Amino acid sequence: MPSAGSPVGTRYEQQGRESCDRLVAAALATDEDGWTPIGTNKDVFIMKKSPQKGEASSVNCVKGTAIVRAPPDFVYRVLKTRGNVGKFDDMLKEARVIDEISDTTRLVHLLYKAMWPTSARDFTVITTAGRYDVSTLVEAAMSVVDERIPEERGYVRGNVVCGGYVIRALSDQPEMSEVTYVSQAEFKGNIPTFAVNKVTESQPMCVAALRAVAEETYAASRNEPHQTRELEDQRLARFDQTFADSAYLTATSDLSGKRRRKEGKWGGVRNCPEPFSGVE
């Protein structure tokens, strides 16, 4: 099994950092960068970017952005709580964690339900999640080929070019977040490109689902007795101090895993807010 120090593990960690860079760049891009507005649905602003000449992928990249009335750390914890996954993506059938490369990087096998008249899809991805910079948390995914996850009967193996969530703090409103979901995925099989592009335009609506769960959960937590709210505030303050003493996702380190833990560094990435009940 590859570890953070093995050649495969090191390569996957590097690919994970690169996928985070691409994800954040896509989230921050505007119409001046070639992105075209599609419209607004349930207060989610959706944009797309057509593939440029010379790019390997022939499908559009799409993103949806919304304001969430909850702090970034809280939204991240909601996102990473196992029991919530199906609430954000009802087409996801199963997420199998094949290898824990490091505390922030995983090899995951994603299996999706079939949508008539197409076959079910699956994806082999590296996921990287953590604090990208002082005001940004991310969960990024990109496809890799790994012999431990052969193609499975009944599924067509797709390819995630770029995908994931970017959760950013609003400097003037610390109790709110800007959340962007980015997706560029090739479904493979016999689906025409125009059909793939049409389907992907609806994917950013998962931001609306995340917003609904995060806002409801956060509102409930603020309505708890004063002592409970005070403990929650203290816990978030401890998270912030942990972040201040550790490394960012974009930082690199040749320290061993044991030394990284001792020094507050985790595979060259920052520690993250804990999920509420088990990490997905």
160-214 residue pLDDT tens: 999 999 999 998 898 999 999 999 999 888 777 777 777 778 889 999 999 999 9
- pLDDT number for residue 111: 95
Q: Which residues contact 29 (CB under 8 A, 6 or more apart)?
A: 35, 49
Q: How many helices (H) and strands (E) does the chain have?
A: 7, 10
In this structure, the number of other CB atoms found within 10 A of the CB of residue 148 comes to 11
Sign of CA dihedral 119, 123, 129, 133: negative
Q: For residue 124, is pLDDT > 90?
A: yes
19 neighbors 26 (Cβ within 8 angstroms)? no
127 neighbors 105 (Cβ within 8 angstroms)? yes
Q: Which domains does the chain have, with CATH numbers?
A: 7-263 (3.30.530.20)
- pLDDT number for residue 139: 97
**Arithmetic mean of pLDDT, 9-30:** 95
- Determine which helix (DSSP H) or strand (DSSP E) holds 170, and give its type and residue range: strand 159-170
More confident residue, 197 or 75: 75
160 neighbors 143 (Cβ within 8 angstroms)? yes
| Residue 249's pLDDT band (cuts 50, 70, 90) | low
| Residue 56's pLDDT band (cuts 50, 70, 90) | confident
Q: For residue 101, is pLDDT > 50?
A: yes
3 neighbors 9 (Cβ within 8 angstroms)? yes
Which segment of 86-95, 112-121, 175-184, 213-222 scores lowest on mean pLDDT?
A: 112-121
Q: For residue 136, is pLDDT > 90?
A: yes
**Arithmetic mean of pLDDT, 232-250:** 46
